[in-house]
Structures are given as C-alpha cells and as structure tokens.
Structure 1
Amino acid sequence: MRLQTDNDMVGKRWRSRALTDDEFDALSAASPEGGFQQTAAMRRMVEQEGAAQTELVGLVDADDKPIAGAMVAYTQGRFGLEGSIWLGPLCDAHNEHLLTAMTMALHVAAHKRGAISVSCWPDDVYLRRTSDGEPDGEPDDLLVGNYEKLGWHHAGFDRGYGSIVNRWVYVKDLSGFKSADDLLKSYSKNTRRNVKIARNSAVHVRRLDRDELGVFHHICELSSVKQHFQNRDLAYFEGVWDAFGDRAEFMVAEIHLDEYLAGWQDKYAKFAREADRLEAALPESKYPDDVRKKLDTARRNVESAEHRIADAKERIERDGHVVPAAAGLFMWHERELVYFSSGSDERYAKFYAPTAIQHEMMSRCLERGLHRYNFYGISGVFDDPDDPGRGVLEFKQGFNGYVEELPGEFTLPVDRIRYGLKAAAAAVLHH
C-alpha cells in the first residue's frame, strides 16, 4: 500500500477539500468518468430520502481548481458506517499519483466519520466487448492493479445483475449518425421492423408530468410482477423527479386506439375495394390464375383487417381510447443518456412500444449532439439461452451497440478491526 510513501508528493501537488455542488457538477460534466450517479442531484436525492449521509470529497490543484472527486454516500451497516461511491470516483485511475491522492482523501474523510470502509464501482471500461460478448481489445489490468496496490480489495469479476451497480452495460455509439432515419438503418432487421410497426400502430411517445408518475409506477409494477423483481415505490420516483428536474425524463409510449382503429378501417375499405375489383375482373380475364391469386391475397387482407378492427374495438371498450403501453426513465448527463428504469404492458407487446421509446430517445440525443447512449445493465451472460436476462439482452442487441465490462467493486478498509469482523461474519454466512 502506497498511501504513506506518496504522502509528501501528494501534498505538494494537490490538496483535498469538500467541493460545492456547482464545483462537483462541473467536474462531473467534464470528466471521462462522469455520470448522473456522480452529481449533486444524486446527492440531493439520497439526502432527501434520508437513507444516507453524503459528502463531496475533492482534490484541487495549486489554483484551487477541482481535478478529481467523488460523491460518497454513507449508510449504516451492522458494524458501523460504510461509504459507497456509485460509478466513481471521478479520477483517472491510470494516473497512479492522482489515484493515490484520491484514495488518501477518501480514507481521511471516511476516518473522520468513523466509517468502517469505502466501496467504489469505477465507471471505467475494464474490457470492451462486441454486441455478442466477444472481447474487442485487451482487458485493463493496469487499472485493477493500481487500485489493489493502494489497498483496495477487488470483489472479482462476476456475471449477473449487480445488486448495487451493474458491472455489465450495453452501449450504442451515436457519433456518425446525422438523422433519426440514419439511426434506424443501423438497427437489426427485426428492430427496424418493430420501430415501423409502432409508428404505424398509433404509438406516440411523450414525457410524463410529475402528477402522472403513478402511470409510470403502474407500468413498472406490471413488469416487476412478470419478471419477479421488486419495483421501487412511487415516492422513490417522485424523489428522482424532485432532485434531478429536467435531467430526469419519465417517458411513456401510448397507443391511441381511436387512431389505430381508424387506420385499419381505412385499410379495410381499400382491401375490400381491391377484392371487389378483382372479383369483377375475373370472368373476363385472359389470365384467370393470376387474378385468382391476387383475389385470394385481397380477401386475406380483408379478413386480417376485420380481425384488427374487432380487436381494436374490444381493446377500446376494455382499456379506453389511449393506453400507456410502455414507460422508461432516462437520465441526462453531459457525457451520456442513460436508460435507467422501465416497464411495459405485455398485453400490448405486438405494438412494440418499448422499441418506439428507445428510438425516440436516441433521436433526441442526436438533436442535442450527444453521442453516447447507455442502455444500462445486462447480465453479462451471452451463451445461455435460458438465462433470465436473455430477453433484455436480445432487445438491446437489436439496436446494434456494444458491451462494456466494468471492473466492478473495490473496497478500501478504513477501520481494519471492524472491517475484519465484518469480513469474518460474511465468511461464516457463506459457509
């Protein structure tokens, strides 16, 4: 561990101090590791929930300019306070001296609070992978080694969804696309088709207001029941809205069933006219076989339209004229847009509302000049068709992005006695 040996050098180059909200947000916006979880808005949300105490620990240079930092959330564990840095710190882990100074600052801050430890989940790429999970480059073992040399304990490389922070994320690079149509062409064949089906099925995407968050919560509840996970309560989403403001967008994809019905009624009339025309032309046709084939197709189209019309009327009677079919929470940051949370109504799966939301939000990124779209978590399992996360993976793969494998969790002991007791207790539980 190098905290002591580098102390003189660190003191000359940088010093640590608490950062203001504005300073921290400016640092996050400019940092290659920046993200919505390392912002003052995230700090406000955690504080207003009352679930944790927070601190903005920073490093400043000789001009008092912040050059690294972290939002630390302290929660009460069985053996005492434990610090957490979600998708941080904002620090170049390849700069050993800077990482040393950041580690020292975090250690000192946590020690003053009487914390047992500080855990972090750096938002650095350990290994970039293809959409199918194949390595696309070399693993960043230097980053892991730099943390470990400073006394951080690495939790290892696991698969599955993280209980606190996802280690596997799916990303699409939007640079090079000039329009939504260009973007659409980059998707897989099925996903392109699904975007068009949604567009032709009267699916409209809009932002929800705060007093409509119950709609968002309800849709997420539908998915949580189906996929067997615990949905967050409504108060959590209200807290996100209040803390992040315009940087959190709760989007809904609604099906306007009146519009959908009218569309199929128009198609029915068109198909019926074509069937009548072909039927009238059949007796005098020189090529009756060809006409019969076209007539059969026209009649099938009429039957299909009749079925769609009956289905639409039934849905309107049961669910109303406008039905929220999918919803998503999107977090804006200067570096990326994150698809953070979502849900959908399986009864309307064939309208492809979730696909419509994704295409809409990526299109909005292009309008803002933002080139990184973060689909967020996947399980990291690519070779098991029965994996519970398979459906999520295949949905995201349809947009033709790539995978980032993050390094995962590191824990820095602060009170070694209590940290040892906690580790011993955890070992007993696992046995």
Structure 2
Amino acid sequence: MSEAWRTRELTEEELDELSATSPAGGFQQTSRFVEMEKASGTQTEIVGLVDEHDRPVAGTLVAYTPGKMGVQGSVWLGPLVDADNPAMVTAMTGALRASAKRHGAISVAAWPGDLYRKYTSDGEPDGQPEAALMENYGNAGWRHEGFTRGYGSIINNWVYVKDLTGLDTPDALLKTYSKNTRRNVKIARNSAVQVRRMDRAELDVFHAICELSSEKQHFQNRDLAYFQRLYDAFGDHADFMVAEIHLDDYLAGWEDKLAKFSRDETRLEKSLQTTKYPEDVERKLKTAKQNVESAHRRIADAKQRIERDGHVVPAAVGLFIWHERELVYYSSGSDERYAKFYAPTALQHEMMSRAIARGLNRYNFYGISGIFDDPSDPGRGVLEFKQGFNGYVEELPGQFTLPVSKLRFAALQAAHKVLGR
C-alpha cells in the first residue's frame, strides 16, 4: 500500500540494485552515470521510495542543470517505478517534486524507459500500447509532450532490439541474421578485420571516426571530453571497441588467392587442348581468368591503401555499455572508404557474441528514427543496417514534464511560444 512507502535519498549502491532488477533498468540509472554527471559539474540526487523495512521499491537519478529561465531537472530513462501502479507513480512523482523544490527547479523532465508499444522489425504493431502508463503519469501531474518520430536530441523514443534468448554460440547467432548480413560477417572475417577494445589514450581516434559519421549523417557528435568522462566513470562496464583492417594480412590473402586462380587458369588452358567437352572447360576458364583479374585489382588496391593509410587501419568504432539487463550499442562511427570491408557488421557480431557468452538475452541497438515507410528518410540506412540482424522495435513513451514552480513554468512556456520552440 502507498501509505507504507516512505521517501528518502538512496545510496548509489541502492540505485544499482534497483536498476539491475527493474524491467526498465538501464545504464543511465546507475552509480556509474551518477559519477559521470558529477564529473561534468552537474548537481544530482537519487530520489527513492522505500517500504516499511526501508528497502527501495522505486527510485531514480535526477540531474539539475541551470537554464536561462532557471534550474531544470532531468530524469533519463527513468524513474524506475512500476508504471502500472498508479499509487506508486503518484508517490514517486511527489518525491521528485519535493526534490525539485529543494533544488529550486522550475520543472522536471522525464523520459521513462518503460515500453510503450512493441513493433516488428518492419514497423508493424505487435501488441497494444501501454495505456495505463500514460494514464498514471497524467493523473500524477505529468504533461506528455507528444509522440514523435525521428532522432531525439536527448533520448531516442524508438529503439531496435535483438532477442538473444536461446542462442548459445556465435554460429547459432549468425544463423538468425538476414542472408546479406550473414554474408557481410563472412566478408569481414575473410578481409582481415579484427575487433579489439581501445585504451583511454586512443579515445581521440574513437572520437575522430565518430566525427566522420556525424558529418555524413548530419548529427552532432559528442565532444572528446564526454567520452573521456564516460570511460573513467564506467570502467569495465563500457567497451570502446575498434574494428581494424590488417592490410598486410589482407594483401597476403589475395596473393594466395591469385596463386590459386593462376594455377586453375593454367590447368584449364592445358585441359582445353585435350578435353571432349570444350564448352564446359571454356566456361570454367573464363571464370578463372576473371578471378585472376579480380585478384590483381584487389592486390593493387591493398598496396595503395597500405601506402596511403598504413598497415593497420581503424575502419569502424563502437561504444558498448554493459548493464545487468542488456548490452547497449550506444555510439559509433565508420570510415566510408572501407565500407566494403563491413567492419561495422563485424563489430556487431562480435559484441552480440560476447553478450551471449555473459548470459545476456537482450542486445539494444539503440536509436532508430521510427520511420519505416519513407525510403528517403535520413535514418533509412541505419534502420536497414539494424534490420539485417533480425530484431524488433520498441517505442518508448517519450518526454513527460512535471511543472514544479507554476508561475515560472508558465513564464517559460510563454517564452518558448514567442521563440517558436
């Protein structure tokens, strides 16, 4: 019963325990994220509800940042509360309102991590929307800012997820992908692409490659200091990964193939002189000659790349964050000059394989635009890449706003209208 709940500040350890067991728990609601926010100078508080035994039953990290009109609170992928329990949502809302008043905040914005609606990989609804969640937040005093599509500037409302349940080996995982994605994994494997974890001293390389993708896809890359803070705060819970092409090995592989193709060509030319089936041999000889030509082109290309870029080239990077409930593919970048080596695909397969090895059943590809019927949508390429791994889509409820200081909040809303926001 709600009267048994009491409000108090939770410890970082209690937040971690709550996050690990919550159906909507995520890395943004952990002590590691608290430390990251503190490192940036942000004021934080961990607000919670406890039962009669002083055990946390709900809670959230809330961050307070100054704005032009005053302090505002933010709850990222929280609060961790049973959204189907109206009394608990109301009690948690009261705790957040009290916290905001202590910090002199105008309002609190929250982006709950709860599932609003599930969809198939192609964007077809797969179940009913969670109406109770919306009703309970509304009745507790939150204003919903509307359902949106496209990439959110703060939290993505649409995420792509791969269910790893029942998959126990990388080969079993590979079989679940689309035909093209399976092929791309094999191409990367045969193209001397190797995946490894990066050190802190290499974060400038990570950032630079992310910058390449941000320029191409027209989004704002995070600064280097952000990634450094995250590396320091999350430690082993965050893997900055790089997929590198070892061009010496790639060149050697094609030189071996050239030798084989050349032997095939010589053998078939000799066979053509004595065979009773010249048409069949001529067809095979034509293929062998094409293979020889292709190998020569690949060898010449590899030598040019080595001369231009060096012997080991970072072709794709990804930031992967571990949580008890899931592995999140949080940030990435790639060098388009090496697109045909399929380094990003190799990264995904490697990290999903590691998630399986750790016993996780959920791999979160993170944001998509939520637009499935427009081939010209800027997010189309990202969507199709993730669809190749055969997952499903989750729509989150989006932003809720809790007014705290009604007069200042009304003034802020009026200012936004004047500015056309």
Q: Which amino acid aligns with 1:325?
A: A
- Shift in Å at residue 31 of structure 1? 0.9
Match for 1:149 among 128, 139, 156? 139
- Shift in Å at residue 248 of structure 1? 0.8
SS in 1 for 2:28: coil
Query: What corresponds to 1:180 in structure 2?
Result: 170
Match for 2:29 among 23, 34, 38? 38
Match for 1:335 among 325, 333, 338? 325
Give the TM-score, by structure 1 length.
0.97
Match for 1:195 among 174, 185, 203? 185
Q: Which amino acid aligns with 1:118?
A: V
Match for 1:237 among 222, 227, 231? 227
Establish whether residue 314 from structure 1 lines up as the match of residue 304 from structure 2: yes
- Shift in Å at residue 62 of structure 1? 0.8
Query: What corresponds to 2:201 in structure 1?
Result: 211
SS in 2 for 1:284: coil
SS in 1 for 2:273: helix
Q: Which amino acid aligns with 1:371?
A: N
Give the TM-score, by structure 2 length.
0.99
- Shift in Å at residue 26 of structure 1? 0.9
What is the distance in 2 between the residues matched to 1:382 and 1:31? 30
Establish whether residue 83 from structure 1 lines up as the match of residue 80 from structure 2: no
Query: What corresponds to 1:93 in structure 2?
Result: 83
Query: What corresponds to 1:374 in structure 2?
Result: 364
* CA offset digits 1:150-200 (Å, max 9, x no partner): 110000111110111000000010001121111101101110000000000
Query: What corresponds to 1:66 in structure 2?
Result: 56
- Shift in Å at residue 232 of structure 1? 1.4
Query: What corresponds to 1:262 in structure 2?
Result: 252
Query: What corresponds to 1:4 in structure 2?
Result: none
In the TM superposition, what are the counterparts of 1:123-162 in structure 2 within 5 Å? 123-162=113-152
**8 A Cα contact 2:168 2:357, kept in partner:** no
Considering only aligned residues, what root-mean-square deviation do their CA atoms show, in Å?
Answer: 0.9
- Shift in Å at residue 77 of structure 1? 1.4
- Shift in Å at residue 108 of structure 1? 0.8
Match for 2:295 among 288, 294, 305? 305
* CA offset digits 1:101-157 (Å, max 9, x no partner): 111111111111111111110101111000011100001111101100111000011
Query: What corresponds to 1:107 in structure 2?
Result: 97
What is the distance in 2 between the residues matched to 1:383 and 1:255? 35
Number of equivalent positions: 421
SS in 1 for 2:166: coil
SS in 1 for 2:29: coil
SS in 2 for 1:417: helix
Point out where structure 2 has 5 or more consecutive residues left out of the alignment: none
Point out where structure 1 has 5 or more consecutive residues left out of the alignment: 1-8
Match for 2:7 among 16, 20, 23? 16
SS in 2 for 1:116: strand
* CA offset digits 1:379-407 (Å, max 9, x no partner): 01111100010000000000000000000
What is the distance in 1 between the residues matched to 2:93 and 2:374? 39
- Shift in Å at residue 228 of structure 1? 1.9
What is the distance in 2 between the residues matched to 1:149 and 1:428? 29
What is the distance in 1 between the residues matched to 2:328 and 2:219? 20
Establish whether residue 344 from structure 1 lines up as the match of residue 334 from structure 2: yes
Q: Which amino acid aligns with 2:296?
A: E
Establish whether residue 228 from structure 1 lines up as the match of residue 218 from structure 2: yes
What is the distance in 2 between the residues matched to 1:401 and 1:231? 26
What is the distance in 2 between the residues matched to 1:225 and 1:110? 38
What is the distance in 2 between the residues matched to 1:33 and 1:131? 21
Match for 2:286 among 290, 296, 315? 296
What is the distance in 2 between the residues matched to 1:143 and 1:225? 38
- Shift in Å at residue 230 of structure 1? 1.9
What is the distance in 2 between the residues matched to 1:233 and 1:110? 29
What is the distance in 2 between the residues matched to 1:361 and 1:67? 32
Q: Which amino acid aligns with 1:115?
A: A
- Shift in Å at residue 98 of structure 1? 1.0
Which structure 1 residue ranges, 4+ long, deviate > 6 Å from structure 2? none
SS in 2 for 1:56: strand
Q: Which amino acid aligns with 2:269?
A: E
Q: Which amino acid aligns with 1:265?
A: E
